[in-house]
A and B are shown apart, each in its own frame.
Chain A
């Protein structure tokens, strides 16, 4: 049975990340930044990635990383979710890093491990581990790439873009410098203000091939599986913030001569939400532990599908309850509840919807659909 608790090392890491986020990333700062063209606070990212080494947690020490693992990475994501922090962590430290580890591209890992650069994986945020290898980008005989990929997360600030493309001999993974000729990035106006998306267009962009048809599909799938499984931890953090903030508010807020939180109709909703979040915590930890084992067998795939099917909906429900139970203030731009609602709703679609992951369970748990 997997270890579903947090080790003391993990708790120390959590405390360190939380301290940084409390200092650099209060809700007011997140809100203010949403309305600037620079979606990320470079100082925050530098502190997290460089000083805490959070970006290189899953990178082995010989490549300059911390040589920790995905359980620790998941703890960072919980805290980033709790702060609705705008950082390229999911795109760079999870998705792109997992691809580079799979490709064994040591030279590209080093600047990520050191927190000097970030990278992006050129897939839509909605990509899921069960989909076919993407066909939107093609490599020609000279190895240059052409095509488009829409809604790519964390693309804007990335120094390197990792592109799944169909080469002459089949699926392959390429690295393209973000400054390369023929590469263009077009920001989208995204629902989630704290995780910007952009479209990638390639016109004969020079690229370096990292993996060919033998390994590229497996590497991409592992990255999407890792992303989906660890996103559950971010969703847990989002949900925990929403519940805690709502409970605090309802202890203070008086109507009808008593705290609103003393009304049973409200209490029972919060008790149910608490129970769902306890489930989300167990499921998210289980997925992180399974992924950390490095085994991609059916148990790991199942743990990811369970976690993502469950946590995606739980975070949305928590955020929706948070808005509703704050009343009018929950509808304001000024109160941070909407940041979490937007993050939760976008995360629900990210890396496979809950419905997609439940559908995967049909195969994984041998519960076949009607003929």
Chain B
């Protein structure tokens, strides 16, 4: 039986055993996970069937058509897009069994405790300390820009376990319990008015060694899996033609002929062209991935996505003329999901500014393309081989 046929068969069985119309939402999601239809490319027993990733779209579409609930992925982007692939790659069987199911169903959402006040682009310079004490670790430090920390049940965390080693080598990766009494989350208000992200103070937080992901000192390598997946998660979403920001601008253009000018028309056509080419580039990347030949376009998709989102959202504000002067609502709220496209044009314009910062800035992504894809020589560095404790800061 081909994988596609088997997957379709499983969908039919799931729907037969759990009628979406009468089944409790969470019960349905758990049953879907147990049927291997959560993420079909994951192994059996962990929500998947070991099937090609390309079959997922058909599963999602078929279940949606049958009226099945989804797992509200926007409320748990970091869990689904970043924590899960890292746990799959580096987690112990116990960790995988404990964390993946409630992560996928959305019962437990996740956040990412990576960035610090002194370590952003230069993430490996981080200073949050984790000190071993028997089979637990004690963590002290400060994290910042932590999206969704106010709703998350768990966090992926990187911390310094050996300050005597050069910065990339003394880091260890943990799963942190956000309900630990030593975790304090304070909102940070953003340029949009709301607070999607937070600062997080860690004071004597206790983490059992069983919640360490990967070996001690291997945290930087483990974090690469997270970061690579973050870039694909932000820029690599499959979209139909006119999906995303361009669809919103094009709809306004069609609906409101009185707003049209020749200059805006030229820029709209360029934007539309750019959006279509970015869409095709992403599609080509997915075709490569499906054949198991991952191309280096991964980091680039986020770079392209950010550039496009910023251009188009700026164009939309201009197109709206007087309406572009308004703004929906500046009230400080703490949203429980990340939404790049939600609300109004002013919000989209401002939120898009984050796209070239979050998940690695566009400057850092260009460095990555230049050095790892094009093979250009690195800039001279003074920090690489110096013990972390001796670095200038």
Give A residues with C-beta under 8 Å from B.
1, 3-5, 243, 247, 250-251, 258-259, 261-264, 266-268, 270-272, 274-275, 278-283, 285-286, 306, 309-310, 358-359, 361-362, 365-371
Q: How far is the CA of A369 from the CA of B374 in the complex (A)?
A: 40
Q: How far is the CA of A358 from the CA of B371 in the complex (A)?
A: 34
Q: How far is the CA of A169 from the CA of B124 in the complex (A)?
A: 76
- Flag whether B380 is at the interface (Cβ < 8 A): yes
Of B144-152, B197-205, B282-290, B341-349, the one touching chain A: B282-290
Our pick among B269, B366, B367, B376 for the contact of A251 (Cβ within 8 Å) is B376
Our pick among A259, A266, A306 for the contact of B277 (Cβ within 8 Å) is A306
Q: How far is the CA of A1 from the CA of B300 in the complex (A)?
A: 22
Query: Which residue of B is nearest A371, CB measured?
Result: B257
Q: How far is the CA of A264 from the CA of B370 in the complex (A)?
A: 9
Q: Which residues of B contact A306 (CB under 8 A)?
A: 273, 276-277, 280
Our pick among B268, B303, B376 for the contact of A247 (Cβ within 8 Å) is B376
- Flag whether B4 is at the interface (Cβ < 8 A): no
Q: How far is the CA of A259 from the CA of B284 in the complex (A)?
A: 33
Q: How far is the CA of A199 from the CA of B357 in the complex (A)?
A: 55
Pairwise interchain contact B376-A262, C-beta atoms closer than 8 A? yes
The smallest C-beta distance from A132 to any residue of chain B, in angstroms, reads 22
- Flag whether B210 is at the interface (Cβ < 8 A): no
Within 8 A of A (CB), among B353-391: 363, 365-367, 369-371, 373-380
A-B contact pairs, 28 of them (CB 8 A): A1-B283, A4-B284, A4-B287, A251-B375, A251-B377, A261-B377, A262-B378, A262-B380, A264-B367, A268-B363, A268-B366, A270-B376, A274-B300, A278-B300, A282-B280, A306-B280, A310-B273, A358-B273, A361-B269, A362-B265, A362-B269, A365-B250, A366-B250, A367-B250, A367-B268, A368-B257, A369-B260, A369-B265
Query: Which residue of B is nearest A1, CB measured?
Result: B283
Q: How far is the CA of A362 from the CA of B80 in the complex (A)?
A: 38
Q: How far is the CA of A163 from the CA of B32 in the complex (A)?
A: 64
Q: Known contacts A4-B283, A358-B270, A358-B273: does B265 contact A370 (CB below 8 Å)?
A: yes
- For B272, B374, B375, which residue has the most chain A Cβ atoms within 10 angstroms? B374
Query: Which residue of A is nearest B276, CB measured?
Result: A306
Q: How far is the CA of A251 from the CA of B371 in the complex (A)?
A: 11
Pairwise interchain contact B376-A286, C-beta atoms closer than 8 A? no
Q: Which residues of B contact A286 (CB under 8 A)?
A: 280
Q: Which residues of B contact A267 (CB under 8 A)?
A: 366-367, 370-371, 374, 376
Q: Which residues of A contact B303 (CB under 8 A)?
A: 271, 275
Q: Known contacts A268-B363, A271-B374, A369-B262: does B269 contact A281 (CB below 8 Å)?
A: no
Pairwise interchain contact B287-A3, C-beta atoms closer than 8 A? yes
Give B residues with C-beta under 8 Å from A.
250, 253-254, 257, 260-262, 265-266, 268-270, 272-273, 276-278, 280-281, 283-284, 287-288, 291, 297, 300, 303-304, 363, 365-367, 369-371, 373-380
The smallest C-beta distance from A349 to any residue of chain B, in angstroms, reads 18
Q: Known contacts A261-B377, A270-B376, A274-B373: does B280 contact A4 (CB below 8 Å)?
A: yes
Pairwise interchain contact A5-B287, C-beta atoms closer than 8 A? yes
Q: Known contacts A251-B377, A262-B377, A282-B281: does B370 contact A270 (CB below 8 Å)?
A: yes
Pairwise interchain contact B280-A262, C-beta atoms closer than 8 A? no
Q: Which residues of B contact A262 (CB under 8 A)?
A: 376-380
Q: How far is the CA of A4 from the CA of B300 in the complex (A)?
A: 17
Pairwise interchain contact B280-A247, C-beta atoms closer than 8 A? no
- For B261, B276, B367, which residue has the most chain A Cβ atoms within 10 angstroms? B276
Known: A279-B280, A282-B284. 12 other contacts (CB 8 A): A5-B291, A258-B377, A261-B377, A274-B300, A280-B277, A306-B273, A306-B277, A358-B269, A366-B250, A367-B268, A369-B262, A370-B261
- For A275, A286, A358, A367, which residue has the most chain B Cβ atoms within 10 angstroms? A275
Pairwise interchain contact B374-A361, C-beta atoms closer than 8 A? no
Q: How far is the CA of A361 from the CA of B261 in the complex (A)?
A: 17
Our pick among A279, A285, A369 for the contact of B304 (Cβ within 8 Å) is A279
Q: Which residues of B contact A371 (CB under 8 A)?
A: 257, 260
Q: How far is the CA of A263 from the CA of B379 in the complex (A)?
A: 7
Q: How far is the CA of A275 from the CA of B371 in the complex (A)?
A: 14
Query: Which residue of A is nearest B365, CB measured?
Result: A271
Pairwise interchain contact A281-B284, C-beta atoms closer than 8 A? yes
The smallest C-beta distance from A352 to any residue of chain B, in angstroms, reads 14
- For A5, A250, A251, A367, which residue has the most chain B Cβ atoms within 10 angstroms? A367
The smallest C-beta distance from A218 to any residue of chain B, in angstroms, reads 26
Q: How far is the CA of A191 from the CA of B145 in the complex (A)?
A: 54
The smallest C-beta distance from A291 to any residue of chain B, in angstroms, reads 15
The smallest C-beta distance from B111 to any residue of chain A, in angstroms, reads 30
Our pick among B261, B272, B280, B304 for the contact of A367 (Cβ within 8 Å) is B272
Q: How far is the CA of A365 from the CA of B266 in the complex (A)?
A: 13
Pairwise interchain contact B260-A282, C-beta atoms closer than 8 A? no
Pairwise interchain contact A367-B376, C-beta atoms closer than 8 A? no
Pairwise interchain contact A271-B370, C-beta atoms closer than 8 A? yes
Q: How far is the CA of A263 from the CA of B380 in the complex (A)?
A: 9
Q: Which residues of A contact B272 (CB under 8 A)?
A: 361, 365, 367
Q: How far is the CA of A309 from the CA of B273 in the complex (A)?
A: 8
Q: Known contacts A1-B283, A271-B366: does B376 contact A370 (CB below 8 Å)?
A: no
Q: Which residues of B contact A5 (CB under 8 A)?
A: 284, 287-288, 291
